[in-house]
Structure formats: C-alpha cells, structure tokens
Structure 1
Amino acid sequence: MTRIDMMIFLKLFYPIMRLVLLSATLLIIVTIIVGRGVVDSEEIAFMSRRTGNFEIYLMDVRRNFVHNLTQHPADDVSPAWSPDGEQIAFLSQRDGRYTEVYIMDFDGRHVRRITNTTDSAIDPAWSPDGQQLIMALLVGDNPELFIFDLTSDDVQRFTDNFSIDRQPQWSPDGSQIAYASNRDGTLEIFVHDLATGDERKLTSHFQNNTSPVWSPDGERIAFQSDRNGNWDIYVMTAQGERLSRLTNHVSNEEAPAWSPDGRLVYQSDRRGFWDVYVLDLERGEEQRLVRDARSPAWRP
C-alpha cells in the first residue's frame, strides 16, 4: 500500500473507528455506572438455615454460585427485591423481640432498619416506584396491612378489620394491590383498586388461597392453594379467570415468585426438606435450582 493509499484509507475509516471506540467507551461507562447486565435476571435471593439460623443468600443461576448476604445471630428471612434490583428488604429480630423490616444493598452492605414498632412486621413488598413498602403488622392477634413511605417515614393503615390480611403485592403499574384475607372464612385472594377503592375477590374456595404474585406484565397472578390437600402453585388471569394448576405433587409447593421473563420459582419439600425449583411455563419444564432454600425472590 502506497503512502497515498494509506492516507485515503485513514481518511475514510478514521471516523468509523472513532465511532466504534466511542461506543465501546460509552458501553463500559454505562456498565460501571449501572453495575448490572443481562446476567442479573438470573440472580435469586432466598433464605436458608444451612449455617444454623436463617440467613439471606444470593444465587447466580447461570454460574451455579451461592453466597450469603447476611451473617447475624438473629434470623434474617423473607427477602424482597426493590424494583430496580439494587436493594433487598427483609425481616429480622436482630434489634429486639419484635420482627422488623430492614433494607440492605444488593451485595449485603449498608443494612438499616426501616420499621420501629411494637407490632411485629411480616410480608414486606415494594411499590413499583420504589418509594413505599406495604407490609402486614400484627395488630392484636391479626395481621393488618400498612403502607410505609420510605421518603417521609409516614405510615398509612391500608386494612382495618378483624380478619387476617397478609401477603400484599403491588401490581406492576402500581394501580392495584393483591393480598390474602380470611374475612369470608378461608384465606382468599382480593385485589384492591387504589384509584377507586373498589375490591374484587378473585378466588372462592372452601380451602385456602394465598401468596398472590403478579406476573411482570400484570396480566396474571400466581398463588398457592391447598384445595387438593397439599399446597400447590396455581395461576389465573388478573381478573380471576382461566385458573390453571401448575404443580401436582404429593409434597407442598409454596411461595411462588416470577422471573423477569415469566418463569416461576417456588419452594418444595418433595425431597423431605425445602428446595427451590424453577418452572418454565411455556415449555412445562421444571428444574431444581438450589437445595436447602426457601422464600425465593428473583432479581428484577
């Protein structure tokens, strides 16, 4: 190649190479700032007592790697991811005799207590904007639902009756809250419209229906029911229609949670102790993910 040819080549391709280098640099910067990639949809938080007491663990599904996020003499249970996947809410009695809600970063750092009540908290769940937590607080003998504002520390009572109200979950668009209540005898799933205040009862059975969780698109609700003797996982539309039984074992399948791409994880005691399984609804394929694990929560 002559010198003239080289000059022509550089003149033609220098802008292209500059654009490529700029794009690569921006990609690196975005990766560093965000700190997350596609692999994060394959991370599951769960609780396990493999070291003696319950701790919160994180599993990288693709690498089959598990490490603990908490290490404390008190039990740390019920992990719940923030919508951006950067924080985890969980329950612990580490500061006294009442169960309180704590929040930590996704890597287990910067643990701070959120609630400070004389009524133990259970079932924390995030609002889609990450600004609020809804949870159940034990009021007397019954759990009632409360909304805690993370920016102002204001607390708003959401249910007020003599029944059990538990396991609240915001819809992905933030317009509705699903929860389980025994106000009609057995535990059934209700959906509350936040704009109108209207409530719909989605299930009606002489056995219990609990643990409602919205699909990522808000079109379906998975839940657990013991209507056939043991606990199994079911799914229905957000209107309570087209009920489908997803698991059918002599064991118990509980605590369903959705992955970002529409798979379901849940805990099962089919082997005599609790393991976490994943179910691909489209293929009908089930796989055990991790042993000695409960309350799985897939990172958004």
Structure 2
Amino acid sequence: MLQKSFILVSFAFSLSALACTVGVAPAEQVSGGPMRVGALPLSALTPTAPPTVTFTQTAIAPTTPPQTDTPPPSTATVTVTPAASSTSAPTPVAGARQIAFHSGAVDGAKFIHVANVDGSQVISLTAGISPAWSPDGSQLVFVSDLGGNLDIFLMNADGSAVTNLTQTPTNDDSPAWTPDGQFIIFSSMRDGNAELYQMRADGTDVVRLTRTPLVAEIQPAVSANGEIVYAALSVGVTQLWMMQADGSEARLLEVGGGNHKFPAWSPDATKLAFASDRTGTFELYELTLATGEVRQLTETGVQNGSPQYSPDGRYLLFDSNRDSNYEVYRLNLETLGVTQLTRSNRPIFNGDPSWRP
C-alpha cells in the first residue's frame, strides 16, 4: 500500500536543497528489462479503498491583475454546470481531452485518477503517484511501490496492461517522456545516489545520463526539441539545470534566489514554469529562455507546485494548499486567473496533475 513512507521517500528530494557543480559522465549501459504485472484490479493493489474525489469549478480572483479566469475554448461537446461561486462555465481546452493526477489520504495510499479537463467523469485507475501521459495520449507512466520499493510502471489510458518497467532494489522516480514517445527519462537511486537515466518505453536499454555523487538529480522534464531540465539538490539549495538529451552540456539556469523545483516546459520549448520559495513559500514562476526574464504567476503565501502546461500553452495545471488541502487548480497565463478543479471534504492530497495531449 502506498503509505506515508512511500510519499516521504518520493518527495524527500523535493524538500531537500542544493548548490554545487553538476558533472556529466559518459553514457553507461545498465542491464534489466520489463516485468509483466498484468491488468490488476484495484482491490489487488491495496487493501484500502480509493478516496472519493469531488470536482468543482470555482474561479479564484488572482492577486495581480484582478481578473477572473476566462474559460478556454472548446471543441468538445462536454459541458458542466459550474459551482455557485464560479463566474463562468469552464469547458475543455482544445486538444486536451483529459487530465491525470494522484489523490489520497495525506499519510495513506495514493491512487491515479483521470478526469475530463472540465472536471467531469473522474475515474480511479490504480495505486500510484506522478502520472505522465505519453505524447500520443494512449498510455500513462507512473510511480508505485507495488513491488516493495518505488518502481516505474506503464499502463494504458484506461488502466489496463499494467507493466513494471524497473525492478531494482532501490527507488526509481520522476518519469518523463521524450517527445517521440520512444524513451522515458527518470531519477533512480540504483547506484547509491539520485541520478538521471534513460530507458526505452518498454523498460529496456537503460542508460545513465548523469554521474554526480554529491548531488541528487530529480524531476526531469523533456522539451519538444529533446533538451532536459531538472532539479539538482545538494548542500542546502535546490537549483534548476539543463542538459542535452545525451546528458552533455549541463548548465545552471539563473532564475534568482531561493530553492527551485518542479520544472515544466512550455509546448514550444521557449519557456519554463517552476516553483520557487524565494518569497518564503513556494510560488509559481515562468522563465522566458531567450531573455532570462522571470515572471511571478502566483502570490498566495502558501505552497504551490507541480505546474504543467496545457497543450496550447495558455494554461497551467498545478497543485496548492491554498484551500487547506492540497488540491488541483488551473491558471490562465494571460490573466493569472485561477480555477479550483478538485475539492475534498477531508484531508486529502490531490496533486501532480498532467494534461493529456
């Protein structure tokens, strides 16, 4: 069962910090292949029933500027009546049919859910965290401790054909797809330190991309042109780094003071969204790579993280505890208007949202 130890291990690196030079080693071949688990029923994965997740559509006025979130245009036929406090009826973002996220008790099991981008038709798929859609939207890669430690799993979008891609006795985490859907970049402790690796989407041909014994590399994200951005943690500071697809040319991204984590690429690879605690709590920011300009997106005084761009680049999904619980929100990048998507009636962690392409 995905208990408290699962979440503490999975997010320990996020809460750590670092500041030292990241080196890059030549690619190293690692043995190992996928192990078939099968399409297990939810009851077989954990003895705890999945939590009930209620979706609401509540528009939240941004701090700056004072505008509400204009609903994204829709090409779908699904419509949902908003909650009474909402100023508009959200409709699906063009090209983004669904979102995925994990949900569960703060100190208990977590489950992968999918829902329409407007918040309707919530479906629980399996036990796990950190879901990420394949580029064609047909599969989800995710993290689970079904084998005792954290492994990376793959399943179809409907929850079928669950396959364990990693079988090391240590933890594997933070999976991210390459844009062609052929490879998955991930963080692993298999060599004694959190380093970044690449494997084929079937779990074969594992290649080590980084070799930095005193630095933990986590949370990789891959751009449309194949560049990798990631968080690097050591000696009290968390920083963002970027490297080429083969692990070469690693460089520090200058984004200001504080600790920085959860990097995410815009669809056109010109911007990065990330979370930073430069003001005391983790707020969301956006870096324009061509100019180095950093724009603050939220100003809440609470914790915000896990940003993910919509396929058209106009919106961010993210999680935040601004409503006491960690819930999933949508942010309009033009107006900075925020819409709350999930609302739980008991202590629940809803987070790590991902847009379906």
TM-score by length of 1: 0.80
Which is higher, the Rg of structure 1 or of structure 2?
1
Q: Which runs of 4+ in 1 moved over 3 A?
A: 37-40, 139-142
The alignment-based identity, stated in percent, is 34
The answer to which of 138-147 and 228-237 deviates more is 138-147
SS of 1:187's partner is: strand
The runs of 5 or more residues in structure 2 that have no matched partner are: 1-91, 345-349
Equivalence for 2:225: 173
- Structure ranking higher on relative contact order (CA contacts 8 Å, 6+ apart): 2
Equivalence for 1:116: 167
**Larger helix share, 1 or 2:** 1
Q: 1:42 to 1:196 in 2, by over 3 A?
A: closer
Residues 83-114 of structure 1, C-alpha deviations (whole Å, 9 max, x = no match):
1111000111112x211000011111111111
Equivalence for 1:193: 244
Q: 2:293 aligns with which of 235, 242, 257?
A: 242
| Aligned-pair CA distance for 1:284 | 2.2
Which amino acid in structure 1 is aligned with residue 339 of structure 2?
A: Q
Residues 150-177 of structure 1, C-alpha deviations (whole Å, 9 max, x = no match):
3570111111112111111111122x11
| Aligned-pair CA distance for 1:119 | 1.7
2:93, 2:337 → 1: CA distance?
22
Which amino acid in structure 2 is aligned with residue 214 of structure 1?
A: W
2:159, 2:94 → 1: CA distance?
18
5 Å-filtered alignment, 1:74-223, equals 75-95=127-147, 97-139=148-190, 142-150=193-201, 153-161=204-212, 162-174=214-226, 176-182=227-233, 186-194=237-245, 197-203=248-254, 205-223=256-274
2:267, 2:189 → 1: CA distance?
29
SS of 1:181's partner is: strand
2:207, 2:172 → 1: CA distance?
14
Residues 253-293 of structure 1, C-alpha deviations (whole Å, 9 max, x = no match):
11111111211010010111111110111122110011241
1:99, 1:200 → 2: CA distance?
29
2:131, 2:246 → 1: CA distance?
28
1:127, 1:100 → 2: CA distance?
19
Equivalence for 1:294: 351
Q: 1:138 to 1:152 in 2, by over 3 A?
A: closer
2:330, 2:140 → 1: CA distance?
21
Residues 190-219 of structure 1, C-alpha deviations (whole Å, 9 max, x = no match):
110237921221135452111111001111
CA contact (8 A) 1:186 1:206 kept: no
1:205, 1:193 → 2: CA distance?
22
| Aligned-pair CA distance for 1:39 | 6.3
Which amino acid in structure 1 is aligned with residue 98 of structure 2?
A: E
Residues 128-153 of structure 1, C-alpha deviations (whole Å, 9 max, x = no match):
11111110002466311111123570
Equivalence for 2:101: 46
| Aligned-pair CA distance for 1:42 | 3.8
The answer to which of 192-201 and 41-50 deviates more is 192-201
Residues 22-41 of structure 1, C-alpha deviations (whole Å, 9 max, x = no match):
xxxxxxxxxxxxxxx98660
RMSD of aligned Cα (Å): 2.3
TM-score by length of 2: 0.68
Equivalence for 1:30: none
Equivalence for 1:34: none
Q: 1:141 to 1:251 in 2, by over 3 A?
A: farther
CA contact (8 A) 2:210 2:247 kept: no
Equivalence for 1:264: 316
CA contact (8 A) 1:188 1:205 kept: no
Q: 1:46 to 1:151 in 2, by over 3 A?
A: closer
The runs of 5 or more residues in structure 1 that have no matched partner are: 1-36
CA contact (8 A) 1:132 1:148 kept: yes
1:236, 1:128 → 2: CA distance?
21
Equivalence for 1:65: 121
Equivalence for 2:112: 56
2:188, 2:115 → 1: CA distance?
29
